[in-house]
Amino acid sequence: MTQEELDALMSGDVDIDELSDEEEVASTDDVSAENDAADEDASMLEANIKSATLPLPATDENKMVHQLDDVTKESEEKASEIFDIIETISNDLMEKEESLSSVLEVLNSNIELFEKLEKKFPDITTFTTQLALNQQAFEKTEGSIEALQNSGDAIMNVMDIMQYQDIHRQKIERVINVMRALSKYMNTLFEGKIDDEKRVSSATHIAGDTHNDVASTEDIEALLAKFGS
């Protein structure tokens, strides 16, 4: 009871019986609202439980073997593309190495020539300068060839590592074969002598059942259609 209601009651403007009736109605409304909220929470909880426990529909996104087949196919295709790229890079490195080897032969020949000229004409500084320049070029070319060779070795290591991708693909294919064999075995295990179309329809309620909440034929067909979609 609020202060205003108390003042009105003391002054005689409000009947205590009417005030009690209003409070009872308000209390009833509050209880009803609380019950409605509790029912709504229970319905939401039940819906969440059902959605969490029901199996996923048998779509292409959820079929396990279907997904594994896609993984092995895409993995093999991408691995083949990677091998092609690596092979192209390796061939380019070999060509560059051969070209630099030819340059190295020319530089070595120049060094031998300028060494002879320097000894024969020690007063001519041009021979000494060119000898030093060719020696520097020879060293840089040797370093470049060594770098190309190291890159080639690294590419070979990458190709060796990529071989594991094929092993992983084979493991996945082995899992697929086991799953398919189990599926066929289970299908054979549950085979019957009578076609499903010729079977007697199942009873929806049997004496002794503890509940009467039975699903209709339409409900079952709708559920099966949902799972099979």
Q: Where are the domains of the chain?
A: 1-41, 59-190
What does the pLDDT read at residue 170?
Answer: 87
Q: In this structure, what token pair is assigned to residue 163?
A: 């071989």
Q: 198 pLDDT band (50/70/90 cuts)?
A: confident
What does the pLDDT read at residue 164?
Answer: 83
What does the pLDDT read at residue 75?
Answer: 86
Percent of the chain with pLDDT over 90: 30
Q: Find all residues with CB under 8 Å of 116, minimum gap 6, and list them.
A: none
Q: Which residue did the predictor score with more confidence, 112 or 12?
A: 112
Residue 193 in this model has a pLDDT that exceeds 70:
yes
Look at the alpha carbons of 123, 124, 129, 134 in this order and tell me if their dihedral is positive or negative. negative
CA distances from 181 to 58, 171, 175, 176, 188 (A): 19, 15, 10, 9, 11
Average pLDDT, rounded, for the chain:
77
What does the pLDDT read at residue 5?
Answer: 57
Q: 12 pLDDT band (50/70/90 cuts)?
A: low
Which of 1-15, 19-33, 60-74, 203-217 has maximum average pLDDT?
60-74
Percent of the chain with pLDDT over 70: 61
Q: In this structure, what token pair is assigned to residue 28?
A: 């009833």
Mean pLDDT, rounded, for 203-212: 62
